[in-house]
Amino acid sequence: MSSVLSPEMRRRAGGRDIRIVFDEATIAARVHALGQEITAAFPDGELLVLGLLKGSFIFLSDLVRQIDRPLHLDFLVASSYGSEQVSSGNVRLVYDPETPLEEKHLLIVEDIIDSGRTMKKMLALLATRRPASLAVCALLNKNLLPVPIPEVRWVGFPAPPAFLVGYGLDHVEDYRHLPFIGDLN
Query: What is the 8-class DSSP label of residue 174?
Result: B
CB 48 within 8 A of CB 104: yes
Antiparallel, parallel or unpaired: β 133-141 and 152-158: parallel
Question: Helix, strand, coil shares of the chain as percentages rounded to 5?
Answer: 25, 30, 45
Which among 110, 46, 95, 52 has a CA at the least distance from the CA of 72? 46
CB 45 within 8 A of CB 132: yes
* 3-class DSSP state of 76: strand
To the query of whether residue 74 is one of the catalytic residues in this protein, the response is: no
Catalytic residue among 62, 111, 114, 170: 114
* 3-class DSSP state of 48: strand
Cite the active site residues.
114
